[in-house]
């Protein structure tokens, strides 16, 4: 029944996408004849109004109709341009949460239930919602402490969203399995694994304590950074279903005219944004992975403030080194090094030729150089990169794709501030400094220090390791001399299992015998 329900929900999703004109707006290039026929038929079923909208509006309307789970899925797929294509990923990144607010009384009940205190005990004032998203909505409030009264933002989980997402997830898994079955060439994109990642990230996002922890961690990492910060968390008023944080009085980064009227240097803001993102990624290995315009403010001091840390990304030390070398290789036109790094990291299977891959990378990188800044696009580069990696059997790397997607979004925001924004020029200083500090002589000292720490930990654990090794040696010697022995409980369990299998085997033999007798009788 669960699978039947999943396929019924999947059928509803397909119907909504057809009616809102999303299917008919897809490009037909490369489609097989049967798919082209289905595409044309879908155009006959769409609403008349849908045909007058562009694809981004159609997609936004369809996702809005499908509900909170699909808004979240749309946002997540914006992090996977390898799956949906760079162009659609950009459209999904621009998709804002267009959800209706839920009643204030429901929010109050959630807050009190999560924190175990009355609203009056927690807040001096608690206002009506000012923003609603797929998973939660935000209320302005006032708190009083030893320093007096201060305004805060209270983010409250949407009632019933966990149950709704669990049901919709079954349809998403069904779609992923169908994709792998019907389109085997897309298996390298790992659609089932993508859905599993969506499930995990959304479960994390639905625990607002973890978002608060992410804000706290990024706040500590960026404490001394110029031009960037995140809101401070009020841990006393934070629980699984509610997070209270500093209220940000600032101008949204989407309000370019407002920023200009405030006398802010838009070119400097554009550079600061991309440099901050790269600093978080390379230096800390921890970055805000949903940095669209709706989540970015500029405070009265001209500092960029990032909110909504529900989606974050992490990179290990090795991945950061590979990323820096790949970026720097593109910047300096060292395409052979870019290719070598892909092979060293295992991103491209070793049976391919590095020189051929370097040639393909050159075809991507050379068009970037010598062009006017406004024509250089990370989104275009990623489109080409995904096409090339498919030729070389490069499998999806979730951590890198999320990073690449965030780069596309951050570049897009910077370009709205400065139409002539050159991401490569703005990035060069941060990437170059990181490479000098981490891949030069300093790296040797760091590696020696890390090696010494590892050796010290190994020395501390040596007695325990030796004791376990001795015990293992004694057990192996005993088994060699006396054979494999079980304790009484294990032997009894094996006996019960064998008895069950024996009964099952006898029943199966009787069924087979009866079937053979029946067949012989019919033939006779």
Catalytic residues: 290
**Which residues in 22-34 are b (16+ Cβ under 10 Å) and which e?**
bbbbbeeeeeeee
CA-based angle 302:328:363, to the nearest 5? 115
Q: Give the contacts of 181 (CB within 8 A, at least 6 positions apart).
A: none
Q: Give the contacts of 165 (CB within 8 A, at least 6 positions apart).
A: 68, 69, 72, 202, 206
Residue with tokens 């059997």: 393
Contact between residue 405 and residue 93 where contact means Cβ atoms under 8 Å apart = yes
d(CA 385, CA 381): 6
Residue with tokens 């899925």: 73
| Cα dihedral value 223, 157, 11, 50, nearest 10 | -70
CA distances from 174 to 42, 165, 305, 314, 408 (A): 21, 14, 39, 29, 29
> Which one, of 189, 178, 236, 148, lies nearest residue 390 by Cα?
189
d(CA 397, CA 189): 9
CA 151 to chain centre: 31
Contact between residue 243 and residue 155 where contact means Cβ atoms under 8 Å apart = yes
Q: Give the contacts of 173 (CB within 8 A, at least 6 positions apart).
A: 6, 192, 195
Q: Is 275 exposed, middle or buried (0-12, 13-18, 19+ CB in 10 A)?
A: buried
3-state DSSP call for residue 218? helix
Residues across the chain: 524
Q: 245-248: long-range contacts at Cβ-Cβ below 8 A with a sequence spacing of 24 or more?
A: 245/152, 245/153, 245/155, 245/212, 245/215, 245/307, 246/152, 246/153, 247/140, 247/150, 247/151, 247/152, 247/153, 248/153, 248/297, 248/299, 248/305, 248/307
- Which phi and psi angles does 237 have, rounded to 5°? -115, 35
Query: What ranges make up the beta strands (E) of 178-302?
Result: 228-229, 233-239, 242-246, 251-252, 286-288, 296-298
């Amino acid at each position: 029944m669960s699978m039947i329900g999943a396929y019924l929900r999947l059928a509803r999703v397909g119907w909504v996408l057809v009616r809102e004109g999303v299917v008919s707006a897809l490009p037909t290039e490369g489609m097989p004849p049967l798919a082209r026929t289905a595409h044309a038929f879908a155009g006959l079923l769409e609403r008349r109004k849908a045909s007058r909208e562009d694809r981004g509006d159609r997609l936004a309307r369809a996702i809005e109709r499908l509900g909170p789970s699909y808004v979240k899925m749309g946002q997540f797929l914006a992090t996977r341009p390898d799956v949906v294509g760079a162009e659609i990923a950009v459209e999904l990144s621009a998709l804002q949460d267009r959800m209706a607010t839920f009643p204030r009384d429901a929010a109050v009940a959630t807050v009190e239930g999560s924190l175990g205190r009355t609203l009056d005990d927690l807040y001096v004032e608690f206002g009506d919602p000012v923003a609603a998203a797929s998973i939660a909505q935000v209320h302005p409030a006032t708190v009083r402490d030893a320093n007096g009264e201060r305004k805060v933002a209270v983010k409250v989980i949407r009632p019933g969203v966990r149950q709704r997402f669990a049901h919709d997830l079954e349809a998403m898994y069904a779609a992923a399995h169908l994709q792998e079955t019907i389109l085997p060439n897309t298996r390298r994109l790992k659609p089932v694994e993508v859905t599993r990642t969506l499930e995990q990230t959304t479960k994390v996002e639905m625990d607002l304590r973890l978002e608060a922890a992410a804000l706290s961690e990024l706040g500590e990492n960026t404490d001394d950074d110029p031009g960037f910060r995140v809101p401070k968390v009020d841990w006393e008023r934070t629980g699984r279903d509610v997070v209270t944080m500093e209220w940000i009085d600032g101008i949204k980064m989407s309000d370019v005219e407002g920023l200009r009227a405030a006398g802010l240097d838009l070119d400097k803001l554009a550079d600061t944004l991309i440099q901050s993102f790269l600093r978080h990624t390379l230096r800390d290995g921890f970055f805000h992975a949903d940095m669209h315009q709706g989540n970015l403010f500029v405070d009265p001091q001209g500092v960029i403030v990032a909110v909504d840390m529900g989606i974050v990304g992490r990179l290990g030390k090795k991945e950061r080194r590979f990323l820096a070398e790949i970026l720097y290789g593109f910047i300096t036109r060292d395409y052979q090094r870019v290719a070598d790094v892909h092979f060293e990291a295992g991103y491209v299977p070793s049976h391919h030729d590095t020189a051929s891959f370097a040639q393909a990378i050159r075809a991507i990188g050379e068009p970037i150089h010598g062009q006017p800044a406004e024509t250089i696009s990370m989104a275009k580069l990623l489109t080409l990169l995904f096409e090339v990696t498919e030729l070389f059997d490069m499998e999806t790397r979730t951590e890198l794709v999320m990073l690449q997607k965030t780069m596309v979004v951050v570049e897009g925001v910077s370009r709205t501030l400065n139409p002539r924004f050159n991401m490569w020029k703005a990035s060069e200083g941060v990437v170059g400094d990181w490479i000098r500090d981490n891949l030069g002589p300093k790296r040797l000292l760091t590696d020696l220090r890390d090696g010494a720490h590892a050796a010290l930990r190994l020395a501390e654990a040596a007695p325990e390791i030796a004791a376990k090794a001795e015990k293992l040696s004694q057990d192996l010697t005993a088994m060699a001399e006396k054979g494999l022995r079980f304790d009484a409980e294990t032997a009894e369990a094996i006996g019960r299992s064998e008895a069950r299998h024996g009964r099952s085997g006898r029943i199966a033999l009787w069924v087979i015998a009866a079937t053979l007798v029946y067949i012989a009788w019919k033939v006779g």
